[in-house]
Amino acid sequence: MAFGRQVYAAAAQALGALSNDAAQTLLYKHLGAGNLDPEMMGFVAVMTGSADEAVGSLIAELVGQQNQLRHNAPTRHVFDTRVRDLERWLFHDGLSVEDGRLVAFGGAVEEATGVRDLLLDELTASGLDADRALERAVNDAAQAFRSEPPDFNESTTKVRIALETVARRAAPALAARRNIPPPADTWGAALAFFRVSAGLLTLQEEQALSAVYTLISPGAHRPTGLTDEEWARLARTLALSATYFLIRKYRTAP
């Protein structure tokens, strides 16, 4: 997917805040879809099944022409709220609408690669997140990034917590599966367990994961030349990718 799940969902909610006739007309205009079931998940389905460029043009009109479109909304303040939410999720993905076009203004590797959505799928399948604490941490990180004003520090902190928690939950679970002693309940011990006891990481892989964790830990300095937003985007991408890598190692381990 070129867009994260939240962008598709937010666009569907904005469409749902319009009259059915106005929403269906926009979908037909940009996606060639007609006579849809006027349910928001139906809107999501047609968008996820359409070309990225077509969906982008639909989103660009929803955001760029919101003042004109709101006259087709039964409750205008609801439509305004939905469009603002869509704009914040676009910002989260490094996108904005300028001069009627959807443009990228910053790196958003985590969304362009779909790693965030893939990670959420892996968390569900892993059995490590029965209390959904990991899912909440990932989602809270996104919410902090897209809040008004954004809380970039909290956003980075939450993805670091997700990375650490995956390691600390996966290590003892794998130890129990293999009937070997579990490591101490710390990030460092869990990471070492994956290499030394479980044989799932090379030394270079362990060092890379450790470096990501250290880089985004409290007290780490923002690299010179990057804004807080740019640093948060980079840190989130690194942490989410590292978490996905580690959980895939756990999930595919014998």
Shortest CA distance to 170 belongs to which of 155, 152, 182?
Answer: 182
* pLDDT per residue as tens digits for the range 41-71: 889 999 999 999 999 999 999 999 999 999 9
Q: Which residues of the chain have pLDDT under 50?
A: 1, 108-109
pLDDT of residue 219: 58
The dihedral over CA atoms of 10, 13, 14, 17, expressed in degrees to the nearest 10, equals -160
pLDDT of residue 133: 94
pLDDT of residue 249: 94
* C-alpha to C-alpha distance for 27 and 19, rounded to whole angstroms: 12
pLDDT of residue 190: 96
* C-alpha to C-alpha distance for 239 and 158, rounded to whole angstroms: 10
Can you read off the two tokens belonging to residue 222? 């923002």
> Which secondary structure element, helix H or strand E, spans residue 19, and what is its range?
none
pLDDT of residue 220: 60
What is the rounded radius of gyration, in angstroms, for the C-alpha atoms of the chain?
21
Q: How many helical (H) and strand (E) elements, i.e. helices and strands, does the chain have?
A: 13, 2
Overall pTM > 0.85: no
